[in-house]
């Protein structure tokens, strides 16, 4: 099973918004299997802006951080077809275009979950469910991937539920 990360997960891991949230994000990321994680290219660009504009880091330091995330996880590209899907998603569900791009990338690369604090929790589109990894109640698939449901983290492929 693959999961995509929204910008807020990366920003929290970088220490934006406090030490407590950073600890939660780092704990989550340490427990996710690296091979299961996808970072949409959009999230890397947004992270750069957050680090420069909000965290007041130099562009050089922000670039180094973004490149480290790129080296750690697989990156999902924003292709022309992803953008068209995002336009449809935005139009049909009144979603902000850049959030729709994140979800469209996640679907395009075969993710089952998009970990995001910003999007509507439990919203599902093209087999991808948005879940807040910092919420009081985590999604059962995320718990399974983290091995917290008592089962092995190995789950059926995304195609099994079609």
Tell me how many domains the chain contains: 1
In a domain, 111, yes or no: yes
**pLDDT reading at 159 higher than 90:** no
Q: What is the dihedral of CA 107, 129, 153, 43, to 10 degrees?
A: 60
In a domain, 157, yes or no: no
In a domain, 15, yes or no: yes
> Domain residues for 111?
2-147
Closest CA to 128 of 94, 91, 82: 82
Least confident of 78-82, 102-106, 142-146: 142-146
Q: Give the N- to C-terminal CA distance of the chain in Å, as an integer.
A: 14
> What average pLDDT does the structure give for the chain?
91
In a domain, 159, yes or no: no
In a domain, 158, yes or no: no
> How many CB atoms sit inside 10 A of residue 32's CB?
20
Residues listed for the chain: 162
Between these two residues, 147 and 129, which has the higher pLDDT value? 129
Phi, psi of 106 (to 5 degrees): -60, -45
CATH number for 130 = 3.40.50.1010
**What is the per-residue pLDDT across 45-80, written as a single tens digit (0 to 9) for each?**
999 999 999 999 999 999 999 999 999 999 999 999
The residue-averaged pLDDT of 112-135 equals: 94
In a domain, 112, yes or no: yes
Residue 149's pLDDT band (cuts 50, 70, 90): low
Give the pLDDT of residue 156: 36
Give the pLDDT of residue 153: 40
**pLDDT reading at 152 higher than 60:** no
**pLDDT reading at 150 higher than 60:** no
Q: Parallel, antiparallel, or unpaired for β 124-125 and 128-131?
A: antiparallel
In a domain, 83, yes or no: yes
Give the pLDDT of residue 148: 73
Closest CA to 52 of 43, 41, 39, 61: 61
Closest CA to 41 of 60, 69, 17, 13: 69
In a domain, 18, yes or no: yes
């Amino acid at each position: 099973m693959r999961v995509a990360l929204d910008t807020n997960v990366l920003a929290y891991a970088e220490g934006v918004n406090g030490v407590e949230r950073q600890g939660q994000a780092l704990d989550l990321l340490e427990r996710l299997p690296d091979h299961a994680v996808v970072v949409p290219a959009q999230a890397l660009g947004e992270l750069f802006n957050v680090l420069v504009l909000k965290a007041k880091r130099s562009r050089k330091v922000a670039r180094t951080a973004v490149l480290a995330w790129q080296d750690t996880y697989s990156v999902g590209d924003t292709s022309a077809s992803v953008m068209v899907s995002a336009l449809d998603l935005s139009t049909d569900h009144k979603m902000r275009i850049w959030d729709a791009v994140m979800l469209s990338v996640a679907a395009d690369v075969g993710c089952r979950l998009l970990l995001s604090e910003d999007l509507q929790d439990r919203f599902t589109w093209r087999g991808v469910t948005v879940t807040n990894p910092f919420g009081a109640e985590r999604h059962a698939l995320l718990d399974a991937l983290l091995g917290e449901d008592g089962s092995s983290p190995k789950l059926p492929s995304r195609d099994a539920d079609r």
